[in-house]
Structure 1
Amino acid sequence: MKHRRLVFGALLTSIVAGCESMPPQLSQPKAPYNGAIPITIDTPADQALECLARSPQVTRSNRVFAVHTISDLSQKFEVDEAGPYVPRDTAGMLVTALSKAGVKQVNRVNTVVTEFEIARAREQILGDGRDAIVEGERLPYRPLERGALRGSDLVIDGAVTQLDFNTYSGGTEGSLFGVGGGKRKFALTVGADLRVTDTRSTELVMAEAYSKQAVGVEVYGSIFRFFDSELFDVKIGTKSQEGLHSGIRWMLAEAAYDIVSTTLKHDGSCDRLLPKNAVGAGQ
């Protein structure tokens, strides 16, 4: 009991000392703490996508792609903390992957600003900071030009339809006289069903399912002891887990490669740059 009073007294003293050392009201703020520098996000499929972008089947193609929506139909979310496990802008990940593949695209994911500006131009209140000349007439507003909006040839849509936790798990664990340790491996699987549709004929050009496992490894050790009347408990270890969202990004990059190479009839020369056993390899 005496020992606990001493510890409590020392803690109270440190708190009071900390309050007394608070900086004055007009002092200079502390410099912010900066962690790792920002980087561009790459996936193991990016080299293959960039190879597609340089291929004649892509550079000579006039086909225009559009991504509509990729919804979350897994219906799995964390109520208390994380919220939905699948990112809301999954379609944006596919747009980025198609951009790396070098194909022409039109934006069909978010057209709110475009529709707003078209409506204001129709009301003749939207300008560009200068007059527009149409058939020799100067107009102080942006005119609506017939055929100005680029149409798409192929639209991609679909959904994340699979999210299975604990696809597999295994490991070992043991303890003796309060000293223990163990190792555990686990994985979850996410899957998506994507469709490619001809926007002129509504013909279904392609439909495919893609999946990706996110894996993790955990190694830990612990010591659990009673010393006199006090409890002594120490745990150490490491945990490495592949991010679910990064796994979805990689899956969609593989899907983008498969869709572009299939619809544009690529010769398969970029397949060698895909990770082994990846989607599209050996086409």
Structure 2
Amino acid sequence: MSPIKYTVGVLVSALVSGCEGLPPQLVQPEAPYNGAIPVTIDTPADQALECLAGSSAVKRSRTVFAVHSISDLTQKFSVDEDGPYVPRDTAGMLVTALSKAGVKQVNRVNTVVTEFEIARAREQILGDGQDAVVEGERLPYRPLERGALLGSDLVIDGAVTQLDFNTYSGGTEASLFGIGGGNRKFALTVGADIRVTDTRSTELVMAEAYSKQAVGVEVYGSIFRFFDSELFDVKIGSKSQEGLHSGIRWMLAEAAYNIVSTTLKHDGSCDRLLPKNYVEVAG
């Protein structure tokens, strides 16, 4: 047996024997591991959205927005990892961005609970813990009031229609006598087509395509050595990669800004808070 295999065997044996000494009732539980603290998610477009929320164009507007669905039409998924690359609740990201812009919204993404309660109220079995008074009559159930549901003026829907891997890649790599290193840069592009429709007339108010490039950089070094009949491969380095989902969130935040500022005829004073490239393209 090689010296390396013997050493590894001794260490494993010592670790196993050390775990066998305590009965189960005396073993102390491991302390939970806590990572980074939870934070609210921000995008580089959030300052511009918050600026919109404070503008007179938004504050005076009575327009009610609704988000229907942002579906995944890329048909791309990972078999070996986590399934689809595009998150299921992409529409929820757009709802959040519109909320930061301060506009009025009605929920059209998920109406399951609302429809359930309306059905139970129609059956007169849904209550609120106290009687309701309608035209002087006390009712032990929740009444259905005409006109209680708020309608929308503009509905937003669309799809993530583009997901191109390896939009750009490049780098260098070198090795000599089993010692090597290198760096690599890579990017992928995600895009969405978003529509805004007048819910009364079905007139198409806006139709825009948006895209976002997610980039990454990897720097690494490696050492390959043979010891006796064993091969040892040691790798060190760092990898910085922009998340695809965070890139989609940023893209939809830009879309929300464009939709609100265009449909409510904002004066453009908040454009200065957007990332520079957007202002240059939009201008």
Place the TM-score, normalised by the shorter chain, in its bin: over 0.9
Amino acid at match of 2:187: A
For 1:89 and 1:109, locate their aligned partners in 2 and report how far apart those are by CA, in whole Å.
9
Number of the residue aligned with 1:43: 43
Amino acid at match of 1:85: Y
SS at match of 1:52: helix
Query: Is 1:176 the counterpart of 2:176 in the alignment?
Result: yes
For 1:133 and 1:280, locate their aligned partners in 2 and report how far apart those are by CA, in whole Å.
58
For 1:226 and 1:27, locate their aligned partners in 2 and report how far apart those are by CA, in whole Å.
41
For 2:2 and 2:213, locate their aligned partners in 1 and report how far apart those are by CA, in whole Å.
55
Deviation string 1:235-258 (CA, Å, 9 cap, x unpaired) is: 111000000000000000000000
SS at match of 2:276: coil
For 1:280 and 1:21, locate their aligned partners in 2 and report how far apart those are by CA, in whole Å.
69
Deviation string 1:191-235 (CA, Å, 9 cap, x unpaired) is: 000000000000000000000000000001111223454433221
Residue-pair matches, total: 283
- Give the 5 Å matches for 1:62-73: 62-73=62-73
SS at match of 2:206: strand
Instruction: Tell me if the contact between 2:272 and 2:279 (Cα under 8 Å) persists in the aligned partners.
Output: no
Number of the residue aligned with 1:148: 148
Distance 1:27 1:6, change over 3 A: closer
Structure-2-length-normalised TM-score: 0.95
What's the Cα RMSD here? 1.6
Distance 1:274 1:146, change over 3 A: same
For 2:39 and 2:281, locate their aligned partners in 1 and report how far apart those are by CA, in whole Å.
28
Deviation string 1:251-280 (CA, Å, 9 cap, x unpaired) is: 000000000000000000000000111269
Query: Is 1:273 the counterpart of 2:258 in the alignment?
Result: no
For 1:103 and 1:226, locate their aligned partners in 2 and report how far apart those are by CA, in whole Å.
65
Number of the residue aligned with 1:135: 135
Instruction: Tell me if the contact between 1:156 and 1:197 (Cα under 8 Å) persists in the aligned partners.
Output: yes
Instruction: Tell me if the contact between 1:258 and 1:280 (Cα under 8 Å) persists in the aligned partners.
Output: no
Number of the residue aligned with 1:162: 162
- Give the 5 Å matches for 1:5-154: 6-22=6-22, 24-25=24-25, 28-154=28-154
For 2:50 and 2:228, locate their aligned partners in 1 and report how far apart those are by CA, in whole Å.
65
Amino acid at match of 1:200: R
Deviation for aligned residue 1:177: 1.5
SS at match of 1:99: helix
For 2:212 and 2:4, locate their aligned partners in 1 and report how far apart those are by CA, in whole Å.
53
Distance 1:16 1:138, change over 3 A: same
Deviation for aligned residue 1:4: 4.7
For 1:111 and 1:282, locate their aligned partners in 2 and report how far apart those are by CA, in whole Å.
35
Deviation for aligned residue 1:15: 3.7
For 1:5 and 1:188, locate their aligned partners in 2 and report how far apart those are by CA, in whole Å.
44
- Structure 1 unmatched ranges of 5 or more: none
Instruction: Tell me if the contact between 1:271 and 1:280 (Cα under 8 Å) persists in the aligned partners.
Output: no
Instruction: Tell me if the contact between 2:51 and 2:101 (Cα under 8 Å) persists in the aligned partners.
Output: yes
For 1:141 and 1:261, locate their aligned partners in 2 and report how far apart those are by CA, in whole Å.
43
